[in-house]
Amino acid sequence: MSAIDTTPVAPLTVIGEDCSALARGAAILGTGGGGDPYIGRLLAEAAVRQHGPVPVVQIEDLPDDAVVLAVAMIGAPTVMVEKLPSATQFAEAVRSLAAYRGVTPTHLACIEVGGVNSTTPIVAAAELGLPLVDGDGMGRAFPEVQMVLPTLSGISATPMSLSDEKGNTAVFDTIDNRWAERLARTATVEMGCSAITSQYAMSGAEMKESYVRGSLSLCVRLGEALVDARAANEDPVAAVADVLGGQVVFAGKVTDVERKTVTGFARGTAHIAGMADDTGREAVLRFQNEHLFVEVDGRARATTPDLVITLDAETGEPITTEGLRFGARVRIVTAPADARWHSPAALELAGPRYFGYDLDAVRFDGTTSPGVRA
Amino acid sequence: MSAIDTTPVAPLTVIGEDCSALARGAAILGTGGGGDPYIGRLLAEAAVRQHGPVPVVQIEDLPDDAVVLAVAMIGAPTVMVEKLPSATQFAEAVRSLAAYRGVTPTHLACIEVGGVNSTTPIVAAAELGLPLVDGDGMGRAFPEVQMVLPTLSGISATPMSLSDEKGNTAVFDTIDNRWAERLARTATVEMGCSAITSQYAMSGAEMKESYVRGSLSLCVRLGEALVDARAANEDPVAAVADVLGGQVVFAGKVTDVERKTVTGFARGTAHIAGMADDTGREAVLRFQNEHLFVEVDGRARATTPDLVITLDAETGEPITTEGLRFGARVRIVTAPADARWHSPAALELAGPRYFGYDLDAVRFDGTTSPGVRA
Share of chain B above pLDDT 70, in %: 96
Rounded to two decimals, the pTM is: 0.89
User: Cα–Cα distance between B338 and B138 in angstroms, integer?
Assistant: 8
Which residue numbers of B have CB closer than 8 Å to A's CBs? 96, 100, 166-175, 179, 182-183, 186-187, 189-191
Which of B169, B175, B187 is closest, CB to CB, to A186?
B187
Question: Boundaries of CATH 2.40.390.10 in chain B?
Answer: 237-350
Residue B283 backbone dihedrals phi, psi, to 5 degrees: -110, 145
Question: Are A22 and A116 a contacting pair, CB within 8 Å?
Answer: no
Q: Which of A166, A183, A191 sits opposite B170 (nearest CB)?
A: A183
Specify the higher pLDDT residue, A3 or A88: A88
A185 three-class SS: helix
| pLDDT tops 70 at residue A6 | no
Q: What is the largest CA-CA distance in chain A?
A: 61
Mind listing the pLDDT tens digit for each residue in B91-124? 999 999 999 999 999 999 999 998 889 999 999 9
Residue B93: what pLDDT? 96
For residue A175, the model assigns a pLDDT of 97
Condensed to tens digits (0 to 9), the pLDDT of residues B31-57 reads 998 777 788 899 999 999 999 999 999
Confidence (pLDDT) at B266: 78
Q: Which of A86-90, A114-118, B109-113, B204-208 has the lowest mean pLDDT?
A: A86-90
Residue B10 has pLDDT above 70, yes or no: yes
pLDDT band of A323, cuts 50, 70, 90: confident
User: How confident is the model over B256-262, as a mean pLDDT?
Assistant: 88
Mean pLDDT score of chain B: 93
Cβ-nearest to A175 among B168, B189, B190: B168
Taking CB atoms and an 8 Å cutoff, what residues of chain B touch A186? Answer: 186-187, 189-190
Contact call for B175 and A167, based on CB within 8 A: yes
Distance from CA of A307 to the nearest CA of B (A): 31
Percent of chain A with pLDDT over 90: 84
Average pLDDT, chain A: 93
How confident is the model at residue A10, as a pLDDT? Answer: 79
Q: Are A183 and A155 in contact (CB under 8 A)?
A: no
Evaluate if residue A115 carries a pLDDT over 90.
Answer: no
Looking at residue B78, its pLDDT comes to: 64
Smallest CA–CA distance from A168 into chain B, residue? B174
A187 to chain B, closest Cα gap in Å: 6
Residue predicted with more confidence, A76 or B167: B167
What is the separation of C-alpha B53 from the centre of its chain, rounded to a whole number of angstroms?
23
The residues of chain B that CATH labels 3.40.1610.10 are 14-215
Cβ atoms < 10 Å from Cβ of B343: 14
* Chain A interface disruption, residue of B101, B162, B171, most A CBs within 10 A: B171
d(CA A293, CA A308): 6
Helix (H) or strand (E) holding A128: helix A120-128
CATH class belonging to B237-350:
mainly beta
The enclosing H or E element of B169 equals strand B169-173
- Residue A2 pLDDT greater than 80, yes or no: no
- Is 70 exceeded by the pLDDT of residue B58? yes
Could you give the CA distance from residue B141 to residue B309 in angstroms, rounded to a whole number? 11
pLDDT for B321 equals 87
Each residue of B313-363: pLDDT tens digit? Answer: 999 999 988 889 999 999 999 999 999 999 999 999 999 999 999 999 999
User: Which one of A37-41, A285-289, B231-235 scores highest in mean pLDDT?
Assistant: B231-235
> Regarding predicted confidence, which is higher, A266 or B159?
B159
Residue A4 has a pLDDT of: 42
pLDDT at A81 (0 to 100): 66
Mean pLDDT score, A72-86: 77
Q: Mean pLDDT over residues A51-55, rounded? A: 97
CB contact under 8 A, B173 and A96: yes
Would strands A160-163 and B290-296 be described as parallel, antiparallel, or unpaired? unpaired
Q: What is the pLDDT of residue B193?
A: 85
Integer angstrom CA distances of residue B17 from B54, B90, B241: 9, 18, 27
Per-residue pLDDT, averaged over B82-86, amounts to 77
- Residue A133 confidence (pLDDT) above 70: yes
Cα A148 to Cα B16: distance, rounded to the nearest angstrom: 51
Which residues have C-beta within 8 Å of that of residue A254, sequence separation ≥ 6? A270, A271, A272, A324, A325, A326, A327, A328, A329, A330
Amino acid present at A273: A
Nearest residue on chain A to B93, judged by CA atoms?
A173
Read off the pLDDT band of A9 (50, 70, 90): low
The 10s digit of each residue's pLDDT in A146-196 is: 999 999 999 999 999 999 999 999 999 999 999 999 999 999 999 998 899
- Report, as an integer, the average pLDDT of B218-224: 96
Say if residue B6's pLDDT is above 50.
no
DSSP state letter for B154: T
Q: Give the CA-trace dihedral at A339, A345, A348, A350, to 10 degrees.
A: -30
Q: What is the pLDDT of residue A77?
A: 65
Residue among B167, B179, B187 whose CB faces A183 most closely: B187
More confidently predicted of A266 and A161 = A161
Q: Nearest CA of chain B to the CA of A138: how many Å?
A: 25
Report the alpha-carbon distance of residue A211 to residue A216 in Å, rounded. 12
Strands B54-58, B132-136: pairing is parallel
Q: How far apart are CA B84 and CA A249, in angstroms?
A: 54
Residue with the bigger pLDDT between B243 and A374: it is B243
Structure confidence at residue B87 (pLDDT)? 73
pLDDT at A203: 98
CATH number of A14-215: 3.40.1610.10
Percentage of chain B modeled with pLDDT above 90: 84
User: With contact defined as beta carbons under 8 Å apart, do B257 and B270 qualify?
Assistant: yes
What pLDDT, in 10s, does the model give residues A186-245? 999 999 988 999 999 999 999 999 999 999 999 999 999 999 999 999 999 999 999 999
